[in-house]
Structure 1
Amino acid sequence: MKNMKIVAALGLMAGTMALAATTPSSTLSVSTTVNKTCSISTAPTALAFSNYDVYATAATTGTSTFGVKCSKGTAYTMKLSGGDTSGVRAFSGPGTLKYSLAYSTTPWGDGATGHAAPVDMTSAGMAEATYTINGSIAAGQDATQGSYTDTVYLTVDY
């Protein structure tokens, strides 16, 4: 009988020691940064005006659309190269023919000295924002017949 008491007492002591043991713990710090980023996700479509009629009384108009994607909350500036403070540019061709580019009705340029202001925006999220460039060739220009072209650069700064 004496042996049984010793075994029982040892069993109780082992159980008590198991309950008294602690599990070590610590914290893990987790972090990341979302960088500002933008891209011209859809390239501008060609702005091909219809044939210009020197006797027309209304402007000849055309549009181009493009898309921009930026990380949410990113402020960005869209610039169109060239033009004067009114957004007026000149085609290259056999004579002089001027046209203008605008965001809605606001002249659109690159903000350089003597040029129209750029367009400032802030991204609302990951979805593509679509923009329209409005082009206009004023009526009443005494242009030489032939083909006219120009190249304008679209830049997105962020």
Structure 2
Amino acid sequence: MAKISQKLRALTLVAAVAGAAFLPATSAQAATASTSILVTAAVAQACIVVATPLAFGVYDPTSASPTDGTATVAVTCTTGTAYTVGLSAGGGTGATTTVRKMTFGANTLDYALYQNAGRTTNWGNAVGTDTVAGTATGLLMNHTVYGRITAGQTVPMGAYADTVAVTVTY
């Protein structure tokens, strides 16, 4: 009888455990908390400038015609940035922004840089006076530099050169 009593207790325990498995589970409530992240950025006002060489080619001092050439100044600035492009007098001794001078040793060859194809508007470096103005779109903006070597200069043959600084003010 003791063995039956033990078996009965074991069956009762098994039945109780099995029955508990079929009881409805109590659902746990999920809790949440939230916030937000403030995301900011400041867009810098900036410009990049690149210039192509102005190669006049061969100048014929016996010709009655001037020698013309062009270069391009490419400007890319932050959208909405107002800017001006100025060109220095160059490095030739006695050069100005009106009469620039390429050099070959002690010799000089005069030339000029203009804002327009008719070569009537000088391109200098006085902001608001003789510079080229623009308002950036965020895309590359090309500005053509029109150069001219005046005819009839008596100069020795040689390879003349000058370096003109390009300044973008914004």
Shift of 1:26: 7.1
Name the structure 1 match of 2:100: 89
Root mean square deviation, CA, Å: 2.7
Q: Which residue of 2 aligns with 1:39?
A: 48
Name the residue aligned to 1:13.
none
Question: What does residue range 108-119 of structure 1 map to in structure 2 within 5 Å?
Answer: 108-111=123-126, 117-119=130-132
- 1:142 Cα shift? 1.4
Q: So what's the TM-score if we normalise by structure 1? A: 0.71
**Is there any run of 5+ residues in structure 2 with no aligned partner, and where?**
1-28, 90-94
Residue 66 of structure 1 aligns to which amino acid in structure 2?
V
Q: Secondary structure at the match of 2:147?
A: strand
Alignment of 1:23-102 (within 5 A): 29-40=38-49, 43-82=50-89, 83-84=95-96, 86=98, 88-94=99-105, 95-102=107-114
CA drift at 1:137: 0.2
Question: Which of 140, 146, 150 matches 1:128?
Answer: 140
- Determine helix, strand or coil for the equivalent of 1:135: strand
Rounded Cα–Cα distance in structure 1 between residues aligned with 2:131 and 2:155: 29
- Matches of 1:120 and 1:68, distance apart in 2: 11
Q: Aligned in 2, Cα 1:96/1:25: closer, same or farther, shift over 3 Å?
A: closer
Matched AA of 1:146:
G
Q: Any idea what SS the aligned residue of 1:107 has?
A: coil
> TM-score under structure 2 normalisation?
0.66
Q: Secondary structure at the match of 2:51?
A: coil
Matched length: 134
After superposing on structure 2, the runs of 4+ consecutive aligned residues of structure 1 that deviate more than 4 Å are: 23-30
Alpha-carbon distance in 2 for matches of 1:132, 1:55: 28
Aligned-pair CA distance for 1:51: 1.0
Alignment correspondent of 1:5: none
Give the gaps of 5 or more residues in structure 1. 1-17
Paired residue secondary structure (1:96): strand
